[in-house]
Chains A and B, each alone.
Chain A
Amino acid sequence: MNELSFPLLAQAVVSGVLFGGIYAVIALGLGLVWGVMRILNIGHAALAILGAYLSLTLLRVGVDPLLSLLVTIPALYLVGVALQFFVVESMHGRKEAEQHTFLILYGIMVAIENLQVFIWSADVRLISVSYSARVLNVLGLFLPVGRVISFVMAAAAVAVVHLFLNHTKMGRAMRAVASDRETATLMGISVRRLSRVAFGLSTATAAVAGLALGLVSSFFPGIQIVWISKAFLVVILGGVDNIIGLFVAAVVLGVAENVTGIIAPAYVVDFVAYILLIGTLMVRPQGLMRRTGT
């Protein structure tokens, strides 16, 4: 067991905050779809990993990862709109719509994950660019440039969505739908159009999330399940109504993991995260369990 000195602790806290940004942006996408459509997109992290692979492939042909977002964001936006259009909308009116949608999204997740294995193999990858390995030294703390970029990107995505939801007409309409679907419809909001945008926006943030995680953490197709569990944990802890709360929960998770990481072996960290998730689900599911008018 390592000694718990102050610089080490401070370093872990800072690394945790930087890592928490990624949790926040993945959880944000998950929470958007949950909030507006009451759908749990279990394939969300698989799409994020898809974004990471797309950025990686573009990097190989010489496109800087940050520029690759110009391609991956629209591409994944379209994927989200397509999911809403072809899957969610076609389930309307079915008696077991919730389960069927979940099963379809689950099947899509399985297909995407294994398609990634087929195309890019199951090898462990990292998006590494010349500048990402450089390390900044701020007040005696080491900040790898890659991590800083990843955090800034993630935080920017969260901020943009936050501004969108609070300061644009469409964003406000989305929040209205999230809080009361029927009343929103009566107020003349086109829920159908709005849901397409919301799903698209959600998967578009997955593109940012993918790059953000690909820059700092090694990835392979199967790891998406770890990210989706943690994002789910963040959504449960932070709640979907409040993006700031979501961000705080994500940062807390990142810090908690990194601090546990210096005093305990790596697997304990995962163990703690899963226990937290199962425990929160079982003890305090109310926050998410409120059933909307059926």
Chain B
Amino acid sequence: VIWRVARPAAAAVAVGLLVLLPFLGPQIYFIHVLAGLFMLVALAQSWNLLGGYTRYLSLGHVTFFGIGAYTSAICLNDYGISPFLTAPLGGVIAALLALIIGYPSLRLRGPYFSVATLSIAFLAQVVAFNSTPMGGGYGIQLPSLPLPIWQTEAVFYFVFLALAAIVVWWARKMERSRFGLALLAIRNDEDVAEVFGVNVVRVKLTAFVVSAFFPGVVGGLFAYQISYIDPHSAFDIGLSIDMLLMTMLGGAGRWAGPIIGATVVYLLSQTLSFIIPSALNRVVFGIILVLVVFAMPHGIIGFAESFWTKRVARFRR
């Protein structure tokens, strides 16, 4: 009973603190770092919506991020519309693409789906490199927000905080819905799920489309934040890896997983860059992924839970 009151209260306090934070006069770097973290939480959570709940491991989610980035960049430069308005448009375009490629590619199982999504990300990069409206290899330069730097950082802090909150809220709500149960059924055994009346194709496709929509929105705002994009940064395969790694580390198929995973990986990458040469950063991430799958395939959450139940069981005996 206490939990019913305490949990929402704790969540409200946490969000309230995060909203108040920029007004407490922290350093600008701190705000910037946190905004980056919220962006990664939103991205990892989007990946989780499909990859975590159904185990269709997409290696091409950066495609949707890049599409969003280019959509808002082109809309701002050619039509003068603010990315804050066009970011959802980027999300819609990303979702449409997911609808088109999702239908055939979600029939593929296991590694085939992963390879197909990976190739789509490369295809998108090749297109961006050679398309004139997208600026080719030179990329696109965007005007930044006409605000003092401190306020600019604060604006993006709130935007990414809101986005992360929306995606997390969505995942949490989905996890407890019939739809979420259908996804878990697909993860456990797709054939059995189908026999038991789950419309497998539609459920998977919906999850894929939603999980593509949010990265599209995030990408559009990211482009505005850094005010320069090129095919390398917008379609960086490393970002796909990050989404997967963060979710797996925190706990795939759990709404809190990407929050924990993104925080750990992000803090780690921020501190690692002081300790070891940056080229080794990704080596460490690769090794972490290997170790996570070996030692705690259910992520930090799953590990903590099994640890907890073991302890409690022993205590009760």
On A, residues with C-beta under 8 Å from B are 40, 42, 90, 94, 96, 98-100, 102-104, 106-115, 117-118, 225-226, 229, 232, 265, 267, 270-271, 274-275, 277-278, 281-283, 285, 288-289, 291
Q: A103-B57, A267-B130 are in contact. Are A110 and B294 (CB under 8 A)?
A: no
- A291–B108 alpha-carbon span in the complex (Å): 11
Cross-chain contact B248 with A229 (CB below 8 angstroms) = no
Which residues of chain A are near B127, meaning CB under 8 Å?
271
Check: B173 CB closer than 8 A to any chain A CB: no
How far is it, in angstroms, between the C-alpha of A112 and the C-alpha of B248 when the chains are bound?
20
B104 touches A282 (CB 8 A): yes
* CB pair A274 B283 closer than 8 Å: no
Contacts of B301 in A (CB 8 A): none
Is the pair A103, B248 in contact by a Cβ cutoff of 8 Å?
yes
Interface range on chain B (Cβ under 8 Å from partner): 35 or more
Contact of A117 among B104, B110, B122, B279 (CB under 8 A): B279
- 29 A-B pairs whose Cβ atoms sit less than 8 Å apart in the complex: A40-B112, A40-B115, A94-B297, A96-B297, A100-B293, A102-B110, A103-B293, A106-B59, A107-B287, A108-B290, A111-B282, A114-B283, A114-B286, A115-B283, A118-B280, A225-B118, A229-B119, A229-B122, A275-B123, A278-B105, A278-B120, A281-B116, A282-B104, A282-B105, A282-B116, A285-B107, A288-B112, A289-B108, A289-B109
Q: In the bound complex, how far is the Cα of B238 from the Cα of A225, in angstroms? A: 12
The complex places the Cα of A54 from the Cα of B108 at a distance, in Å, of 36
> In the assembled complex, which residues on chain B have CB atoms less than 8 Å from the CB atom of A98?
110-111
Is the Cβ of B109 less than 8 Å from the Cβ of A110? no
Q: 0/1 per residue, B91-119, Cβ < 8 Å to A?
A: 00000000001001101111110111011
A26 to chain B minimum Cβ distance, whole angstroms, is 15
Q: Once the chains are docked, how many angstroms separate the CA of A112 from the CA of B287?
A: 10
Complex CA–CA separation, A257 to B283 (angstroms): 33
By the criterion CB–CB under 8 Å, are A289 and B112 in contact? yes
In the complex formed, the residue of B with least CB distance to A277 is B119
Residues 40 to 59 of chain B near chain A (Cβ within 8 Å): 55, 57, 59
Closest CB-CB distance, B258 to chain A, in whole Å? 16
Query: Interface 1/0s, chain B 280-296, versus A by CB < 8 A?
Result: 11110111111001100
A281 near B105 with CB under 8 A, answer: yes
Closest Cβ of chain A to B301, distance in Å, is 16
How many Å lie between the Cα of A283 and that of B104 in the bound state? 7
Kindly name the residue among A102, A107, A225, A275 whose own CB sees the greatest number of chain B CB atoms within 10 A: A107
Closest-CB distance, B103 to chain A (whole angstroms): 9
Among A90, A94, A104, the residue within 8 A (CB) of B289 is A104
B197 at the interface (CB under 8 A from A): no
Q: How far is the CA of A40 from the CA of B122 in the complex (A)?
A: 19
Q: How far is it, in angstroms, between the C-alpha of A112 and the C-alpha of B290 when the chains are bound?
A: 12
Complex: how many Å from CA A274 to CA B118?
10
Closest 6 CB pairs of A and B: A111-B286, A107-B289, A110-B286, A282-B104, A114-B282, A40-B111
CB-CB < 8 A to B179: which residues of A?
none
Q: Given A118-B280, A271-B123, A274-B119, do A110 and B112 touch, yes or no (CB 8 Å)? A: no
Cβ-based interface call for B154 (8 A):
no
CA separation between A283 and B297, bound complex, in Å?
33
Question: What is the bound-complex CA distance between A118 and B104, given in angstroms?
Answer: 39
B residues less than 8 Å from A94 (CB atoms)? 297
Q: Are B115 and A42 in contact (CB under 8 A)?
A: yes
B201 CB, nearest partner CB in chain A, Å: 14
Q: Is the CB of B122 within 8 A of A225?
A: yes
Please tell me if the beta carbons of A108 and B105 are within 8 angstroms of each other in the complex. no
A109–B245 alpha-carbon span in the complex (Å): 14
- What chain A residues lie within 8 Å of B101 (beta carbons)? 278
What B residues does A285 contact at CB under 8 A?
A: 107-108, 112
In the complex the two chains form, what is the Cα distance from A98 to B119 in whole Å?
20
Q: With A103-B293, A114-B279 as given contacts, are A281 and B111 in contact (CB-CB < 8 Å)?
A: no
Interface pair A102/B114, CB less than 8 Å apart = yes
Give bound CA distance, A96 to B299, whole Å: 14
Q: Are A104 and B294 in contact (CB under 8 A)?
A: yes
Q: Please tell me if the beta carbons of B57 and A99 are within 8 angstroms of each other in the complex.
A: yes
B122 with A281: CB separation less than 8 A: no
Is B126 at the interface (CB under 8 A from chain A)?
yes
Measured in the bound complex, the distance between the Cα atoms of B117 and A42 in whole Å is 13
Complex contacts, A40 vs chain B, CB 8 Å: 110-112, 115
User: Is B129 on the interface with A (CB-CB < 8 A)?
Assistant: yes
Shortest Cβ distance from residue A115 to the other chain B in the assembled complex, whole angstroms? 5
Contacts A103-B248, A104-B289; A271 near B126 (Cβ below 8 A): yes
Residues of B within 8 A of A288 (CB): 112
How distant is A227 from chain B, measured CB to nearest CB, in Å? 12
A225 to B107, CA, bound (A): 23
Is B241 among interface residues, defined by CB-CB distance under 8 A? yes
Could you say which residues of chain A place their CB within 8 Å of the CB of B294? 90, 104
> Smallest CB-CB separation from B103: which chain A residue?
A282
Residues of B within 8 A of A99 (CB): 55, 57, 110
Query: Chain B nearest CB: distance from A38 CB in Å?
Result: 9
Q: Are A270 and B293 in contact (CB under 8 A)?
A: no
For residue B277, CB closer than 8 A to chain A, the reply is yes
On whether the beta carbons of A281 and B55 are closer than 8 Å, the reply is no
